[in-house]
Amino acid sequence: MEKIKINSVTKIFGKDPKKALVLLENGLDKNEIFKRTGQAVGLTNINFSIKKGEILVVMGLSGSGKSTLIRCINRLIEPTKGSILIDDQEVTHLSNDQLVALRRKKFGMVFQHFGLFPHRTVLENTEFGLEVQNVTKETREKEARNALKLVGLEGWEDANTAQLSGGMQQRVGLARALAVNPDILLMDEAFSALDPMIRRDMQHELVSLQGRLQKTIIFVSHDLDEALKIGDRIVLMKDGRVIQIGTAEEILTNPANRYVERFVENVDRSQVLTAESVMNKARVVAYPHDGPRTVLHKMRDEGISNIYVVKRDYTLIGMIRAEEAKKAVDDGRNSISDIIIEDIPHIRNDELLSNVISALAGLSIALPVVDGDNKLLGVIVKGSVLSALAE
């Protein structure tokens, strides 16, 4: 289900955006438009949608337009052109009163700089959004305490914010956004000011929270590793334009152009690519009703020394080795039931390549890949992993 739809959104900063808009539509770039008009192009014809419950990371270098984009979504910045729909409601047509109501109901925001009030306690800071909404003291205190518990700050309600570390202060900022129970979280470089170790903890915390809360999150970052770690999908921007949209794996394996290639060239692929991206189709399998002669014939035709046994729906049962099948034939047996090795190593299709490498260590057979229902999807050989890493 689409939560947010962004259609042809363009933003031009300056006193005469219409003049610049004409030049933009005629194909001039932002630098030439600025020279001719003094107008700055912030966004150019942005089009994409965001699914309900998705973490979408918008990333790019400084000046790419990523912060401008999320501020257009809740109209902290007015788009020059285009439409933005939230739950099919056109945001750009709302009056000021309607817009204020939408922001209070739909949005929570977390910024790079924590924006906490130094004269308020942790609990009072967390209550602030509810206080603005005129929620009763009893209710807002209850919701604030629940939000602080969610981010791991239970017991710190009465502390002064100056007593908190940077990571704890950012947790208060996140709790304040969560306390109003928004549908959508807008997070603008939310972890950028934190030390690397604390930052990693907060990234893990956000992913963990999302597993429980299923909010729609738009997360702005300039850090590719951060984007790869937390994003369901990534929007990569340059000079106010969207260059590529996709999952981390899609962007790594199929970059749209040289700019994207350079952006991702230093990424540790073993921490992003999954087992499914390097597996090969299991070209031949055995079934429980096959006899040992049939199994041997299949292995001989494929030039393999072991074969995986599956049910008709491809649920993985186990594996048979060629020497065991031959022994069954020599013994005159017609069933393979007693030569199936059921306790075999296997890996989920969504496991990271780093885990695949560990699973393959010391393994002399192809590693079977299964889905969440234990259905055989394919197999992995060491060569496939090495090729993926080399690319």
Percent of the chain past pLDDT 70, that is, above it, reads: 98
**Span of 315-319, 329-333, 381-385 with lowest mean pLDDT:** 381-385
In the predicted model, is pLDDT for residue 362 greater than 80? Answer: no
pLDDT recorded at residue 189: 83
Residue 135: C-alpha distances to residues 119, 174, 250 (Å):
21, 19, 45
Burial degree of 206 (CB within 10 A; 0-12, 13-18, 19+): buried
Pick the more confident residue, 196 or 46: 46
* Amino acid letter, residue 119: H
* pLDDT value of position 114: 64
Summarised one tens digit per residue, pLDDT across range 197-225 is: 778 888 888 888 888 888 899 999 888 88
Least confident of 101-110, 306-315, 333-342: 101-110
Residue 166: pLDDT band (50, 70, 90) is confident
- Residue 253 pLDDT level (bands cut at 50, 70, 90): confident
Q: Which long-range contacts (CB under 8 A, 24 or more apart) does 375-379 make?
A: 375/313, 375/314, 375/315, 375/316, 376/282, 376/285, 376/308, 376/310, 376/314, 376/315, 376/316, 377/276, 377/279, 377/349, 378/276, 378/279, 378/280, 378/281, 378/282, 379/279, 379/280, 379/282, 379/308
**pTM for the full model?**
0.72
In the chain, the domains with their CATH numbers are 2-268 (3.40.50.300), 276-390 (3.10.580.10)
pLDDT at 179: 85
Tell me: pLDDT of 389 over 80.
no
SS3 track for 10-49: EEEECCCHHHHHHHHHCCCCHHHHHHHHCCEEEEEEEEEE
pLDDT digits (tens, 9 = 90+) for 94-145: 999 998 888 888 888 887 666 788 888 989 888 888 888 888 888 988 988 9
Phi, psi of 27 (to 5 degrees): 100, 5
Q: Rounded mean pLDDT of 159-168?
A: 84
Q: Which of left, alpha, beta for 27 (phi over 0: left; psi -120 to 50: alpha)? A: left
Residue 390 has what pLDDT? 61
What average pLDDT does the chain have? 88
Q: Give, in degrees to the nearest 5, the angle at Cα 258 between 252 and 260.
A: 40
Q: Using 50, 70 and 90 to split pLDDT, how confident is the model at 276? A: confident
Q: What is the pLDDT of residue 68?
A: 93
Segment 247-259 shows an average pLDDT of 87
